[in-house]
Amino acid sequence: MHFKRREFLQIGSLATASLMMPKFLKAFEKPAMVPAGNKVVVVLQFSGGNDGLNTVIPFGNDIYYRERQVIGIKKEDALSLTDAAGLHPSLEAFKGLYDEGNLGIMNAVGYPNPDRSHFRSMDIWQSASGSNEYVNTGWIGRYLDAQCKGCDKPTQALELDDTLSLALKGNNNKGLAFKDPRKLYNTSNEKFYKDINAAHPKTEETVDYLYKTMSETLSSADYIFKQSKMNPTTQSYPATELGKNLKTIASLIMSDINTKVYYVSLGSFDTHVNQAQQQKKLFDELNGAVKAFTTDLKSNNRFNDVLMMTFSEFGRRVSQNASNGTDHGTANNMFFISGGLKQKGLLNEMPDLLNLNDGDLKHTIDFKNVYATVLDNWLGVNDKNILGGSYEKMNFI
C-alpha cells in the first residue's frame, strides 16, 4: 500500500519557516556585499574528452590532413585566426571574442604519464594530482578550505548540476550543486528538515557534521534563491541546458552573492564514432550559450571581472579511427574568455604534430601551472598550499 508524502512531511510556508529560523539563517539576511571588481571564475568542463585538434584546427599543417582524411576540417570551412590555425565552424562567437581580444587559447596542456580512462583522467584534472597519486579532494574544494576557514557559507563555489564534482570537494568545505535555484529551494524547504535542524543540540561529532551540512544546505538554498531573483537577467539565452545554466550563473553574478567560482559541464565529447555530427551539435550549444553569456556580462559591465575557462579530461589521438571518430588521447587546448585578459589570442605554439608520443600529442604546459595562475593572479590566493607545490605562473591574466 502507498500513501502520500504529506503524511510525513509538510511543506512549511515561508511565514512559519521564518519563525523557526535559527540564527545562522538570520545571518544570511544581510549578505556581505561583494567588493567592486570582485573576480569570478566560471569553469566549463567538456566531459568525455573533446577533440582539441578539430576545435582549434591546425590547417596549415599537412600532417593534420594526412592523419584525418575524412574528419579533418577544411581550411575554407574553419574560422581563420592566423594563417596556420582556425576555429571549428560552429564557434562563430569564439571567433568574435578572438577578434575583440577577449579570447585566449592555450595549446598542448596536459600532465606527465597521462591516463586514458575518462574517470581517472578527470579525477587527475579535478583533484590536480599527479597521475600516480589518489587524492580525494578537488582543487576548488581546497581553495574553499583555504578561503573559507570558519565561514558557514558554502556558496563560494557553486556547481550547476544535480550532483557535486570532486573538483569542488575540500577536506572541510564543499561547494554546493544545484540545477535550478527554485528546485533547490523547494527540495530543502521542507518544514520537517527545518524543524529537526532547529531542534538539534550539539551531540556527537559525526552527527553534528551531518546537521551542519544540512543546515548550510537549507540556508544556502534560501540565499541562492533570493539572490537569483534580485537582478534576473533580461538577456535572452538559447533554451539549451548550457544556455539555462549560464543564464542562472549570469543572474547570480549580477546579484550580491559571494560566489567566486562557478562550475558547469557540457558533454559528452566521447566521439569514437561519427565525430563530426556529435561535436558540431555540442559546439552549436556551446557557441549559442557563450554568446548570450558574454553579451550579458558586457552589457552589465561585468565582463572584465569574469574569467571563463574550459578544459577536458584529455584530447584525442592525432589520427582518426576507422569509424570516422577519434580515440582517447592526451594533451589538449583550453579557452580563456574574459574582458580582463592580459594576453590574447594564441597564447603559445600550436601542438607539434611531428613530435608525438606513440601517436599522441606531448604536453608542453602542465595544467597545474594554469590552475596556479588562476588562483594567484585572478582569485588572489596563495596557490601553493592548494596545489601542494610551487608552479610557475603565466601572464595571460
Contact residues: other proteins, CB under 8 A: 1-5, 7-10, 47-49, 117-120, 123, 132, 134, 136, 154, 161-165, 169, 174-179, 183, 187-188, 192-193, 195-196, 199-201, 203-207, 209-211, 213-214, 216-217, 220, 265, 267-268, 270, 273, 322-323
Q: Cβ 142 to other proteins, closest distance in Å?
A: 14
Check if the beta carbon of residue 43 is closer than 8 Å to that of residue 262.
Answer: yes
Q: Cβ 197 to other proteins, closest distance in Å?
A: 9
Q: Cβ 168 to other proteins, closest distance in Å?
A: 8
End-to-end alpha carbon distance in the chain: 61
The three three-digit cell numbers of residue 227, written as one number: 539572490
Q: Cβ 49 to other proteins, closest distance in Å?
A: 7
Smaller CB distance to other proteins: residue 203 or 234? 203
Query: Please, is 195 exposed, middle or buried when counting C-beta atoms within 10 Å of its C-beta (0-12, 13-18, 19+)?
Result: middle
Smaller CB distance to other proteins: residue 18 or 217? 217
Give the C-alpha separation, 131 to 111, whole Å.
8
Smaller CB distance to other proteins: residue 158 or 307? 158
Check if the beta carbon of residue 196 is closer than 8 Å to that of residue 14.
Answer: no
178 contacts: CB under 8 Å, gap ≥ 6: 158, 159, 160, 161, 162, 184, 221, 224
Q: Cβ 316 to other proteins, closest distance in Å?
A: 12
Give the C-alpha separation, 316 to 361, whole Å.
9
Question: What does the buried/exposed string (b/e) look like for 197-230 if buried means 16 or more CB atoms within 10 Å of the residue's CB?
Answer: bbebeeeeeeeeeebbebbbbbbbbbbbbbbbee
Closest CA to 52 of 312, 239, 347: 312
Smaller CB distance to other proteins: residue 47 or 348? 47
The alpha carbon of 97 is separated from its chain's Cα centroid by a whole number of angstroms, namely 19
Strands 306-312 and 332-337 come out as antiparallel
* Cis upstream peptide for 268 (omega within 30°): yes
Smaller CB distance to other proteins: residue 164 or 309? 164
Q: Cβ 82 to other proteins, closest distance in Å?
A: 32
Find where cell 548550510 sits: 216
Smaller CB distance to other proteins: residue 241 or 366? 241
Strands 332-337 and 345-346 come out as unpaired
Closest CA to 274 of 326, 319, 321, 325: 325
Smaller CB distance to other proteins: residue 151 or 196? 196
Q: Cβ 143 to other proteins, closest distance in Å?
A: 16
Q: Cβ 204 to other proteins, closest distance in Å?
A: 6
Cα dihedral: 265, 233, 396, 280 (round 10) = 40
Q: Cβ 3 to other proteins, closest distance in Å?
A: 6
Smaller CB distance to other proteins: residue 27 or 207? 207
How many other β-carbons are positioned within 10 Å of the β-carbon of residue 190?
18
Q: Cβ 374 to other proteins, closest distance in Å?
A: 23
- Residue-by-residue DSSP string for 363-385: PSEEHHHHHHHIIIIIT-S-HHH
Smaller CB distance to other proteins: residue 101 or 192? 192
Smaller CB distance to other proteins: residue 143 or 336? 143
